[in-house]
Amino acid sequence: MKLEYLAKTGKIGNVVTRNRMMMPAMCSYTAIKGAVTDATVNHYARRAEGGVGVIVTEMVNPSPGCQCFAGNLDISNDEFVPGMSRLATAVHAQGAKVFMQLTHGGVFIRNAEKLPQTPSGIGTFSLAGAEVHAMTKDEIHQVVEDYGQAALRAKIAGFDGVELHAGHGYLLVEFLSGYYNHRTDEYGGSVKNRARLSVEIVEAIHKYCGKNFPIIYKIASEDYTPGGITLDQSIQICKIMEDAGVDAIVVSGGTLESRFHDYMDVMNGDQKIDGKMELTKGISTATWIPSTYCPRGIYTDNAAAIKKAVSIPVATVCGVRPEKGNEMIEKGEADFLALGRQILADPDCPNKIMEGRQDEIRQCLRCNECIASAGKGVALKCAINPCMGHDYMEHTTIHKAEETKRIAVIGSGPAGLVAAITAAKKGHQVILFEKADRLGGLMYYVGKPEFKIDYQKYLDYLLHMLEKSSVEVRMNTEFTVDTAKEEKFDKIIAATGSETLVPRLEGVENALNPLDILDGKIPEAKNFIVCGAGLVGCEVSMHLAELGKDVTMIDIVPDAHAAHMYAVDWSINAKLAQDGVRVELGEKILKIEKNAVVCQPRQEKMPHDPRILQTPVDLSGPYAEETVTFTGDAVICALGMKAVNTMAYELKDAGYPVEIIGDAYGARKIIDAVHEGFHAGRRA
């Protein structure tokens, strides 16, 4: 089905776009000392090549010394213009329009010589105890001037316009929000006063660039903080900004502090979830980068409400599926659809939409490995797009093979599927061996819960691309040393995956396999005990709870999470709470009985730790002498996964050319499986 409204041309000010699809601002972390690099140019050129109508760059700092992080692009002086002109030229060469997002870091300034700047000296939990600076009027006026000069540099560099970032915790939204802005002068108090800085910046841009240089305004339509921005206030702000001369609005939401207060109340047991805002809509950064544990499109209603109030174009963003975006444009509820992480996962997504090839779109998992990599201060990574951040580079380019080889791929999980498809693209003869009667490996189970539908869609994509490829698939066929001996392969890629770890615990034979539970093999029982609070344990617990079961999840660790970036972990914890899962942590599991689990509790339970940078946890105790027994109708053991690779090492020992990838090398994440599968196939 062709999504015809997304395919229509669009307009922002005097700029005409080839369709209604937008790439919103997302930091790539490819800059060096603020300057554009080859990787930066390639990143944006590749997205433009994929057919998107308009690209908004990542955050670009407009004020000297106000960068937020290593890799932050800069336009605060003329020396950055040549590099920026390379970026604009590359995007235009591929047919897209490009806007530069100007973002003053405000409280997030990371500069040893300059304190973080704020409206009123209100800091952030990510800088606990840090000294912050309340801006003087002269400093505000200088920021206004900096924005005007920065926009002029963007225009000189060839950009089609600029976007002002008034969301997600940075300086402009700090002025807009009553949570951060306690000023009593003309920049504080009323909504009009709090919007004054933004209005003055628009006026400065008009002064330096003229009124035919379009301006997009990205707003946090709600920021979910005490005394912060409400939808009614954001509607007022958008009307003010339209009157000031803004040409389009991007409707987002959230700041770093979003719902943090409610979250801590719930996690520390001070308040029940009842009556609280729906935490699984996101906490902190998850309010604008929602994970798979959060619903999609939480700002579509806000976008529709703002669209009713203004006459300029409005873009909807935040995990909105193309079908929903197309519908909103058709109904007049929005004018553009911003495809964020989806366009990182599959830069060709817009072209596929234009051509009616939605079944070939590589579905974003919303796993947030992208933002997790950014949190580590490294270049952006995508779990299912190994080329992201390395576009057009030799080590991610698939060349046709000079000599056709015979390649065996063992296992049809994500690592095996990606390896097989990639090797076939090179022109090799590829045979995929799967001992089961179905394809997908562990992905078959991962995508079963309703909240993991994104993973099921990604598996559907892989199976569709496998079907379109030249790969020969042999189901119900176990690969052995004899197979290798008889068929004489040039390369064998072992992607045999992992299986549930069975620990050395007394009575472990009484426990159920979590994969069976995900597969729907659930016994007639009401009360379940889940041993393990890692990713599998959390998701099995959520799945059972959503089926109406009473669930208790037990583990020795102090926090239930899957080692994601902090906001994803918080979303997992919030979902467990909202689903009614009883979480018992700091419990050393001693014995599993048929209907009970015997534990040794920690003498003092560790409080929930809200810090972004977690420290290693000491699990040595001390523990209480008396044990505690948790009873239920059934027990599930979800205490980890282990690699399945015995046969692969037998092949290596026998001298066959074997490469072991994915969970077969070590039980890890999907990002490891996909990247290793891609490169194994590419090198074949």
Instruction: Show which residues are catalytic.
Output: 170
Contacts 24+ apart (CB under 8 A), 278-281: 278/578, 279/571, 279/574, 279/575, 279/577, 279/578, 280/571, 280/574, 280/575, 280/578
Torsion of CA 664, 667, 672, 677, to 10 degrees: 20
Give yes or no for a contact between 69 and 117, defined as CB atoms under 8 angstroms apart. Answer: no
Distance CA 91, CA 87 (A): 6
Residues 6+ apart with CB under 8 A from 58: 25, 26, 27, 28, 73, 101
Q: Is residue 428 classed as helix, strand or coil in its secondary structure?
A: coil
DSSP string, 153-180: HHHHTT-SEEEEEE-TTSHHHHHH-TTT
Distance CA 256, CA 262 (A): 13
Cβ neighbours around 183 below 10 Å, total: 18
Q: Is residue 449 classed as helix, strand or coil in its secondary structure?
A: coil
What is residue 512's DSSP assignment?
B
Q: Is residue 72 classed as helix, strand or coil in its secondary structure?
A: coil
What is residue 245's DSSP assignment?
T
Distance CA 447, CA 236 (A): 42
Tokens of 184: 């009593």
In angstroms and rounded to an integer, the radius of gyration of the C-alpha atoms of the chain is 26
Distance CA 60, CA 54 (A): 17
Whether the link from the prior residue into 616 is cis, omega within 30° of 0, is no
Cβ neighbourhood burial of 626 (10 Å; 0-12, 13-18, 19+):
exposed
Q: How far is CA 660 from CA 82, 396, 478, in A?
A: 45, 19, 16
Cβ neighbourhood burial of 675 (10 Å; 0-12, 13-18, 19+):
buried
